[in-house]
Amino acid sequence: MKYPIVFSLGSCRLLCCFDPKIQSKAGLFCRSLHHFNLEFRGGQNFLGKLHTARQHLTTLKFLMGDVTLSDKDQHKLFSMSCPNGWSNDYCSKDPDYDYSQAVQNLRTQLHTHCDIFLFEICSMKNALQHEGGLPIQEEIEGHNPSLYRTKSVEECREDIIQLIEYVNKKFSSPTIILVGHIRNWIFNNDHPYLDDREQIYQLLVQMDRKYENVSCVDPAAFLQKKDLSDDWHYDPDGSAFPTVYRTLYSLFPSPSQ
């Protein structure tokens, strides 16, 4: 049985869905080019904590050899708070670790094996010290306005379009799935910071309508508040992960013999 192969960039919410334990719990399987092999527990991630289309585009261009990243950004991207026990060789806490072979391996897999590109787009923030580069989540945590600016809707739309068109050009228009954040209405909460989530959702819907190979997934459409551990995270001990995974999986090509 050949299961669909997925390349995903996003936050802990998205990448946790591809943990083999979660797949088993959902009774469904695919093969992810990277994933957690432990349930998320505060900061354990692989390929950074990436939340914006600009981050995804920069990361993908780096992996494909179209842009360069500083050694500092590479180390953050590949080893942010990684625990021992990863099922791959991409992570290392050694600041002098050479990631070139890991990048080459992933580049080869992207070209030859990948069926689906899955991106979580859940923020409109851009770290000021990384304008045009690769802002990493840890540098804008805490909502400190001196560290970031919030992009306009038009800027975010252009970033998403550039990401989609880069993937389409590089990989001959594969299946692309865009996942938004947990939207406002699930909490009955009108806190201003949730406004961004609604604007992002509307942009993703536009992309779904604009491109034949793009689908948009709204987690709030099939979650309840009890499925969440807080305003940001799915409850790893609840039903959210299998539910999210089943919904994503419904958009994948069927496994072939």
Can you give the pLDDT at residue 41? 34
Q: Residue 104 is encoded by which pair of tokens?
A: 């080459």
* pLDDT number for residue 59: 87
Going by the DSSP 8-state scheme, the letter that residue 237 receives in this structure is T
pLDDT at residue 6 in the model = 81
Q: Is the pTM of this model over 0.85?
A: no
Question: 3-class SS at 118?
Answer: strand
Written as tens digits, the pLDDT of the chain (257 aa) is: 567 778 888 876 776 666 666 666 656 566 666 654 433 333 334 566 688 898 889 889 988 999 888 776 776 676 554 444 333 334 445 556 666 776 787 788 888 878 889 898 988 877 665 544 555 544 444 455 666 678 899 999 999 999 999 999 999 888 898 988 776 655 555 554 567 888 999 999 999 999 999 998 887 666 655 556 555 566 555 555 555 656 666 666 665 55
pLDDT value at position 146?
63
Nearest alpha carbon to residue 70 among 34, 95, 101, 90: 95
Q: 246 Cβ partners below 8 Å, 6+ apart?
A: 26, 28
Domain ranges for the chain = 5-249
- What is the three-class DSSP state of 152? coil
| Nearest CA-CA partner of 255 in 31, 22, 27, 26 | 31
* pLDDT value, residue 123: 84
Cα–Cα distance for residue pair 8/99, rounded to 1 Å: 19
pLDDT confidence of residue 68: 85
CATH of 5-249, one of 2.60.220, 3.40.50, 3.30.2000, 2.60.40: 3.40.50
Local structure of residue 185 (DSSP, 8 states): G
Q: Supply φ then ψ for residue 256, to 5 degrees.
A: -110, 160
- 33-69 exposure pattern, b = at least 16 Cβ within 10 A, e = fewer: bbbbeeebeeebbbbbbbbbbbbbbbbbbbbbeeeeb
